[in-house]
Amino acid sequence: MAQFKSPLLIAALLVMAGMAQAQDTATPSTEPAPEAAAPEAAAPEAAAPEAAPEAAPAEPTEPVIGAEYIANRFESWELVCIRTEDGKDPCQILQLLTDDNGTRVAQISMLPLNGQEKVKAAATVMTPLGTLLSQNLAISVDGADPMVYPYTFCTASGCAARLAITDNEINAFKRGNEAKMVVVPAVAPDQKVLLTIALKGFTAAYDAASKANAQ
C-alpha cells in the first residue's frame, strides 16, 4: 500500500525533480517505470456466529405417591394434601407460628373428621424441644376462657400436643379474629411465650379440607 508523505518531503522531491530536468532535458529516462503495487488481498469475511441450539423442553415430572403438597392458600392457612393413587387426596390445614422477631416457633395443623358426632377435627400443635411438658398447652380465642390440652410426646423435631376439636371449638375458630397460644419454656418457666394464631381464612380453609376428605 502506498504511504502518504509529509508536505516537507514532497517539497524536497519537487526541487530535486526540477534540478534533474534542468540538467538533462533532451535525454529521456531509459529506466523502466516502477511497476504498480499489486492491490492487497481483501480480508476474509468473518464467519457468521452459529445459532445457539434450542434448549430441550423440560420433561414433565411424575407426581410422587405419598408426597405432601400445598393445594391452596387461604389467608394465613395452607391446604396441605397427600397425593394418592386414586386421586382422593386427604387434606389438612396448617399454619406456621412465629414470634415477635418473625422466627418460626411452632405450627398448628387440623384435619377435619367427617361423619364424627363429638370430635369434628383432630389437630396437632408442634412446639420446640425444651417446652415444659408439665404446663399444658393453652389456646384462647379472642380473649375467651382458654382451651387446655396436654402434651403427648416429643421427637427430634419438637414436642406435640394432640387436640380433639369439638364442634363448639370449630365454631369459635370460625367466628374469631385471632387466637393466643401460650408455650412455657423449661429453662425459664416464668417467661411464657405468647404466640398468635391468625384466624383469617380459617373458615374457607377448613371447609375446603372437609370437602376434599369427603370424596
In a domain, 1, yes or no: no
Q: Return the C-alpha cell found at 10.
A: 514532497
Query: Under a CB-based contact definition with an 8 Å cutoff, are residues 134 and 148 in contact?
Result: no
Structural domain including 92 reads 67-213
Distance from C-alpha of 75 to C-alpha of 78, rounded to nearest angstrom = 8
In a domain, 97, yes or no: yes
The pLDDT of residue 139 is above 90: yes
In a domain, 23, yes or no: no
In this predicted model, what pLDDT tens digit does every residue of 59-91 receive, in sequence order?
556 778 989 999 999 999 999 999 999 888 999
In a domain, 60, yes or no: no
Task: Report the run of H or E that residue 130 belongs to, with start and end.
Answer: none
Question: Using 50, 70 and 90 to split pLDDT, how confident is the model at 40?
Answer: low
Q: Supply the CATH number for residue 162's domain.
A: 2.60.40.1880
What local confidence, expressed as pLDDT, does residue 100 receive?
Answer: 84
Distance from C-alpha of 195 to C-alpha of 108, rounded to nearest angstrom = 11
For the chain, how many structural domains are there in total? 1
In a domain, 48, yes or no: no
In a domain, 130, yes or no: yes
What local confidence, expressed as pLDDT, does residue 23 receive?
Answer: 42
In a domain, 44, yes or no: no
In a domain, 105, yes or no: yes
